[in-house]
Amino acid sequence: MPDRLLNLRDTVAVCDFIESVLGYLPEKDRKPYEAMVEEMRGDEKAVTQERLAEMARNIGAVTWPRRRALARFVETVGSELEWEGVVKNVRPSTAALLKKLRKDAGAPDLASTLKHPDASTVLKPDMEIEINMIRDEVRADLYEDHQDALEPLIEEAASELEAMKKRLKKIREQADAVSGTQQIAYFDKLADLEDRIYFGGEAIPLEILDAEVQFDAGERVLED
Protein backbone atom coordinates (compact mmCIF):
# COMPACT_ATOMS: atom_id res chain seq x y z
CA MET A 1 0.00 0.00 0.00
CA PRO A 2 1.50 3.37 -0.98
CA ASP A 3 2.07 6.03 1.66
CA ARG A 4 -0.96 8.22 2.09
CA LEU A 5 -0.85 11.99 1.90
CA LEU A 6 -2.19 12.35 5.44
CA ASN A 7 -1.46 9.87 8.21
CA LEU A 8 -4.68 9.92 10.21
CA ARG A 9 -2.85 8.43 13.20
CA ASP A 10 -0.48 11.40 13.32
CA THR A 11 -2.29 13.87 15.56
CA VAL A 12 0.03 16.78 14.75
CA ALA A 13 -0.25 16.22 11.00
CA VAL A 14 -4.04 15.99 11.16
CA CYS A 15 -4.31 19.18 13.19
CA ASP A 16 -1.95 20.91 10.76
CA PHE A 17 -4.14 19.83 7.83
CA ILE A 18 -7.31 21.06 9.49
CA GLU A 19 -5.72 24.43 10.22
CA SER A 20 -4.39 24.68 6.66
CA VAL A 21 -7.88 24.52 5.13
CA LEU A 22 -9.84 26.50 7.73
CA GLY A 23 -9.60 29.62 5.58
CA TYR A 24 -11.84 28.01 2.98
CA LEU A 25 -14.72 27.84 5.46
CA PRO A 26 -17.04 30.72 6.36
CA GLU A 27 -15.87 32.15 9.67
CA LYS A 28 -19.00 30.97 11.50
CA ASP A 29 -18.28 27.35 10.50
CA ARG A 30 -14.68 27.30 11.74
CA LYS A 31 -15.31 27.30 15.49
CA PRO A 32 -15.86 23.53 16.05
CA TYR A 33 -12.65 22.72 14.19
CA GLU A 34 -10.67 25.48 15.87
CA ALA A 35 -11.87 24.37 19.30
CA MET A 36 -10.97 20.75 18.65
CA VAL A 37 -7.50 21.59 17.29
CA GLU A 38 -6.82 23.87 20.28
CA GLU A 39 -7.89 21.07 22.62
CA MET A 40 -5.69 18.54 20.83
CA ARG A 41 -2.69 20.88 20.89
CA GLY A 42 -2.99 20.93 24.68
CA ASP A 43 -3.72 17.24 25.14
CA GLU A 44 -3.37 14.76 22.29
CA LYS A 45 -5.69 12.34 24.10
CA ALA A 46 -8.49 14.88 24.47
CA VAL A 47 -10.18 13.54 21.32
CA THR A 48 -10.07 9.98 20.02
CA GLN A 49 -8.13 9.27 16.83
CA GLU A 50 -11.35 8.07 15.22
CA ARG A 51 -13.12 11.36 15.97
CA LEU A 52 -10.14 13.41 14.80
CA ALA A 53 -9.96 11.42 11.53
CA GLU A 54 -13.69 11.91 11.04
CA MET A 55 -13.34 15.67 11.48
CA ALA A 56 -10.41 15.73 9.04
CA ARG A 57 -12.38 13.85 6.39
CA ASN A 58 -15.36 16.14 6.95
CA ILE A 59 -13.46 19.40 6.57
CA GLY A 60 -11.55 17.91 3.64
CA ALA A 61 -14.84 17.19 1.88
CA VAL A 62 -16.54 20.46 2.83
CA THR A 63 -13.62 22.59 1.63
CA TRP A 64 -12.81 20.48 -1.45
CA PRO A 65 -14.91 22.49 -3.96
CA ARG A 66 -13.24 25.75 -2.92
CA ARG A 67 -9.75 24.26 -2.90
CA ARG A 68 -10.35 22.64 -6.28
CA ALA A 69 -11.74 25.85 -7.75
CA LEU A 70 -8.70 27.80 -6.54
CA ALA A 71 -6.35 25.18 -7.99
CA ARG A 72 -8.02 25.53 -11.38
CA PHE A 73 -7.87 29.31 -11.13
CA VAL A 74 -4.16 29.17 -10.35
CA GLU A 75 -3.54 26.70 -13.19
CA THR A 76 -5.00 29.22 -15.66
CA VAL A 77 -5.47 32.94 -15.20
CA GLY A 78 -4.00 33.04 -11.71
CA SER A 79 -0.69 31.33 -12.39
CA GLU A 80 1.29 34.55 -12.78
CA LEU A 81 -0.37 36.03 -9.71
CA GLU A 82 0.81 33.03 -7.70
CA TRP A 83 4.33 33.38 -9.09
CA GLU A 84 4.52 37.08 -8.31
CA GLY A 85 3.17 36.58 -4.79
CA VAL A 86 5.66 33.85 -3.95
CA VAL A 87 8.70 35.60 -5.43
CA LYS A 88 7.77 38.82 -3.64
CA ASN A 89 7.46 37.22 -0.21
CA VAL A 90 10.27 34.64 -0.06
CA ARG A 91 13.80 35.62 0.94
CA PRO A 92 15.80 37.44 -1.78
CA SER A 93 18.20 34.51 -2.13
CA THR A 94 15.29 32.09 -2.63
CA ALA A 95 13.63 34.46 -5.10
CA ALA A 96 16.83 34.74 -7.13
CA LEU A 97 17.19 30.97 -7.41
CA LEU A 98 13.54 30.58 -8.35
CA LYS A 99 13.84 33.17 -11.12
CA LYS A 100 16.98 31.54 -12.48
CA LEU A 101 15.43 28.08 -12.31
CA ARG A 102 12.32 29.24 -14.14
CA LYS A 103 14.35 30.96 -16.83
CA ASP A 104 16.70 28.00 -17.37
CA ALA A 105 13.79 25.56 -17.43
CA GLY A 106 11.62 27.72 -19.67
CA ALA A 107 8.82 27.04 -17.22
CA PRO A 108 5.49 28.86 -17.67
CA ASP A 109 4.60 29.02 -13.97
CA LEU A 110 5.59 28.17 -10.40
CA ALA A 111 4.21 24.62 -10.50
CA SER A 112 6.24 23.74 -13.60
CA THR A 113 9.32 25.39 -12.13
CA LEU A 114 9.12 23.29 -8.97
CA LYS A 115 8.54 20.09 -10.95
CA HIS A 116 11.68 20.60 -13.06
CA PRO A 117 14.34 17.91 -12.44
CA ASP A 118 16.89 20.55 -11.39
CA ALA A 119 14.64 21.98 -8.67
CA SER A 120 15.59 19.38 -6.07
CA THR A 121 19.30 20.15 -6.49
CA VAL A 122 19.06 23.93 -6.90
CA LEU A 123 16.70 24.54 -3.98
CA LYS A 124 17.87 23.63 -0.49
CA PRO A 125 15.43 21.82 1.85
CA ASP A 126 14.83 24.95 3.92
CA MET A 127 14.04 26.86 0.72
CA GLU A 128 11.51 24.23 -0.34
CA ILE A 129 9.80 24.51 3.06
CA GLU A 130 9.83 28.31 2.78
CA ILE A 131 8.35 28.24 -0.72
CA ASN A 132 5.57 25.84 0.28
CA MET A 133 4.64 27.93 3.31
CA ILE A 134 4.58 31.18 1.34
CA ARG A 135 2.71 29.47 -1.48
CA ASP A 136 -0.07 28.45 0.92
CA GLU A 137 -0.30 32.03 2.19
CA VAL A 138 -0.40 33.43 -1.35
CA ARG A 139 -3.14 30.99 -2.33
CA ALA A 140 -5.15 31.98 0.72
CA ASP A 141 -4.85 35.63 -0.33
CA LEU A 142 -5.85 34.77 -3.92
CA TYR A 143 -8.92 32.97 -2.61
CA GLU A 144 -9.94 36.00 -0.56
CA ASP A 145 -9.30 38.45 -3.40
CA HIS A 146 -11.02 36.53 -6.20
CA GLN A 147 -14.05 34.88 -4.61
CA ASP A 148 -16.48 36.35 -7.15
CA ALA A 149 -14.47 34.95 -10.07
CA LEU A 150 -14.16 31.62 -8.27
CA GLU A 151 -17.87 31.16 -7.60
CA PRO A 152 -18.74 29.43 -10.93
CA LEU A 153 -15.72 27.16 -10.50
CA ILE A 154 -16.79 26.33 -6.95
CA GLU A 155 -20.28 25.32 -8.13
CA GLU A 156 -18.78 23.16 -10.85
CA ALA A 157 -16.40 21.53 -8.38
CA ALA A 158 -19.24 20.87 -5.90
CA SER A 159 -21.09 18.87 -8.56
CA GLU A 160 -17.89 17.03 -9.37
CA LEU A 161 -17.39 16.15 -5.70
CA GLU A 162 -20.94 14.82 -5.35
CA ALA A 163 -20.40 12.52 -8.31
CA MET A 164 -17.21 11.16 -6.76
CA LYS A 165 -18.87 10.72 -3.38
CA LYS A 166 -21.60 8.58 -4.98
CA ARG A 167 -18.91 6.22 -6.29
CA LEU A 168 -17.19 6.14 -2.90
CA LYS A 169 -20.52 5.28 -1.28
CA LYS A 170 -20.93 2.32 -3.63
CA ILE A 171 -17.49 1.01 -2.72
CA ARG A 172 -18.34 1.38 0.99
CA GLU A 173 -21.58 -0.56 0.43
CA GLN A 174 -19.61 -3.29 -1.31
CA ALA A 175 -17.20 -3.40 1.63
CA ASP A 176 -20.08 -3.68 4.11
CA ALA A 177 -21.47 -6.64 2.13
CA VAL A 178 -18.39 -8.82 2.70
CA SER A 179 -16.18 -9.78 5.62
CA GLY A 180 -12.67 -10.83 6.56
CA THR A 181 -9.66 -10.03 4.42
CA GLN A 182 -11.81 -9.03 1.48
CA GLN A 183 -13.55 -6.37 3.56
CA ILE A 184 -10.20 -5.08 4.81
CA ALA A 185 -9.01 -4.79 1.20
CA TYR A 186 -12.14 -2.81 0.24
CA PHE A 187 -11.76 -0.40 3.14
CA ASP A 188 -8.06 0.06 2.35
CA LYS A 189 -8.96 0.95 -1.22
CA LEU A 190 -11.65 3.33 0.01
CA ALA A 191 -9.19 5.01 2.40
CA ASP A 192 -6.68 5.44 -0.44
CA LEU A 193 -9.29 7.13 -2.64
CA GLU A 194 -10.55 9.37 0.16
CA ASP A 195 -6.96 10.34 0.95
CA ARG A 196 -6.33 11.42 -2.64
CA ILE A 197 -9.59 13.35 -2.88
CA TYR A 198 -10.18 14.91 0.55
CA PHE A 199 -6.60 15.50 1.63
CA GLY A 200 -4.78 15.73 -1.70
CA GLY A 201 -7.49 17.79 -3.38
CA GLU A 202 -7.41 15.48 -6.38
CA ALA A 203 -10.27 15.10 -8.84
CA ILE A 204 -10.23 11.41 -9.76
CA PRO A 205 -11.86 10.88 -13.17
CA LEU A 206 -15.28 9.28 -12.79
CA GLU A 207 -14.44 6.57 -15.30
CA ILE A 208 -11.63 5.42 -13.03
CA LEU A 209 -13.94 5.33 -10.01
CA ASP A 210 -16.60 3.53 -12.06
CA ALA A 211 -14.00 0.95 -13.05
CA GLU A 212 -13.13 0.44 -9.37
CA VAL A 213 -16.80 -0.10 -8.52
CA GLN A 214 -17.38 -2.50 -11.41
CA PHE A 215 -14.18 -4.43 -10.72
CA ASP A 216 -15.07 -4.83 -7.07
CA ALA A 217 -18.59 -5.97 -7.93
CA GLY A 218 -17.30 -8.51 -10.41
CA GLU A 219 -14.65 -9.74 -7.99
CA ARG A 220 -17.25 -10.29 -5.29
CA VAL A 221 -19.54 -12.23 -7.65
CA LEU A 222 -16.65 -14.53 -8.58
CA GLU A 223 -15.78 -15.18 -4.94
CA ASP A 224 -19.41 -15.73 -3.98
Count Cβ atoms below 10 Å from residue 47 Cβ, excluding itself.
19
Query: How confident is the model over 199-219, as a mean pLDDT?
Result: 84
Least confident of 13-17, 20-24, 43-47: 43-47
Q: What is the DSSP letter of 4?
A: P
Query: How confident is the model over 89-100, as a mean pLDDT?
Result: 97
> pLDDT tens-digit profile of 129-183?
999 999 989 999 999 999 999 999 999 999 999 999 999 999 999 999 999 998 9
Cβ atoms of residues 173 and 84 within 8 Å: no
Alpha helices in the chain (DSSP H): 11-21, 31-42, 49-75, 79-89, 92-105, 110-115, 119-122, 125-145, 147-176, 180-194, 206-223
Angle between the N-to-C axes of helices 125-145 and 147-176, in degrees from 0 to 180, rounded to the nearest 10: 110
pLDDT level of residue 2 (50, 70, 90 thresholds): low
Per-residue pLDDT at 217: 53
pLDDT above 90 covers a percentage of the chain that reads 88
CA distances from 203 to 92, 191, 199 (A): 35, 15, 11
Q: Is 78 helix (H, G, I), strand (E, B) or coil?
A: coil
Q: Is 205 helix (H, G, I), strand (E, B) or coil?
A: coil
Query: How confident is the model over 91-118, as a mean pLDDT?
Result: 96
Please report the sign of the dihedral spanned by the C-alpha atoms of residue 208, residue 214, residue 215, residue 220: positive
Q: Which of 79, 174, 92 is nearest to 130 (CA)?
A: 92
